[in-house]
Amino acid sequence: MFYFRIDRVRFLDNGGIKSGLFFGHDFAQVKFLSFVTRSDQSVPDLDDWVRTNDPAAKKSALQTLVADVLSTRALTEVDRVQDNVPVSFGDTGLILYEAEEIPEAFTWTFLAIRSSRDVREAAGDVNDVLSEPDFGSFATSVFSLIKAGSTLANPAYAAAIEVAKFVAQVGARRLMKKGDRQLGAVTVSFIRPEHYPQGIRESHDVHDMTGNMFFDYSIFGYKRALPVIQKKKPTSRRKRRR
């Protein structure tokens, strides 16, 4: 089994408008969007994708990639977030991703948004993502990345990471209205032999790419023990007395 969880977050600035005349506390509603991309996840046959000139076939392959990304999506929200005050997800943390097998490598994409909208606004499906105005140009860039796959160890993995980042930004835009803002962003990759060789890793007060968010996370993986089947001892037959 494999579990990836977030334990705590902290924001230097919660995105509120500060005023010298403001008394009391400035609270924010914060939405979190999380996606996990595995290096071994199933993806379309990219060789066929590169060779084909059929737009429908290319769109179908992208639909599969987007669907795979959406299957790992985790949405949550926290109210009353203050500047520089840690937000704890309980004593056991919040599981963002779990799987039966420990992945050899994975990439985590995570966004924090100050927003008063319902977190379900970010829960679009595949068609919602594909209908985004800038999806066409994004698809072209992904296609170019795959064509240059000879310079990448795993072009399918690289393409899936880009799709995850695009889908995360789509969700963030759906959550934001006037006055809202992105408070934090993370895209980080983990490799099993280097980062969790024994299946366990804990990190505390890690800063994100914006410098505004700090977070604690945990990795816990283990192999399930096979059930022990005890053989039945043969029953000895007693000799009948004559």
Q: pLDDT tens digits, residue range 193-226? A: 999 999 999 999 999 999 999 999 999 999 877 6
CA–CA dist 146, 184 (Å, integer): 29
pLDDT of residue 18: 64
Number of neighbours of residue 145 by Cβ within 10 angstroms: 16
Instruction: Answer yes or no: is pLDDT of 33 > 60.
Output: yes
- Sort strands 105-114 and 74-81 into parallel, antiparallel or unpaired: unpaired
pLDDT of residue 230: 66
Domain ranges of the chain: 2-221
CA–CA dist 10, 226 (Å, integer): 41
Of 162, 187, 145, nearest to 50 by C-alpha is: 145
- Looking at the chain, the whole-number percentage of residues with pLDDT higher than 70 is 83
Confidence grade of residue 61 (pLDDT, cut at 50, 70, 90): confident
User: What mean pLDDT comes out for the span 25-49?
Assistant: 82
User: What mean pLDDT comes out for the span 1-12?
Assistant: 98
Instruction: Estimate to the nearest angstrom the gap between the alpha carbon of 87 and the chain centroid.
Output: 19
Strand blocks (E) in the chain: 2-11, 28-38, 74-81, 87-88, 94-99, 105-114, 181-191, 200-207, 213-221
CA–CA dist 131, 57 (Å, integer): 17
Of 113, 92, 215, nearest to 170 by C-alpha is: 113
Rg value, the chain, Cα:
24
**What are the tokens at 192?**
């099993």
pLDDT of residue 50: 65
- For the chain, counts of helices (H) and of strands (E): 6, 9
Instruction: Answer yes or no: is pLDDT of 24 > 60.
Output: no
pLDDT of residue 44: 60
Q: What letter would DSSP give residue 150? A: G
Q: pLDDT tens digits, residue range 88-134? A: 999 999 999 999 999 999 999 999 999 988 888 888 888 889 889 99
> Can you give the length of the chain in residues?
242
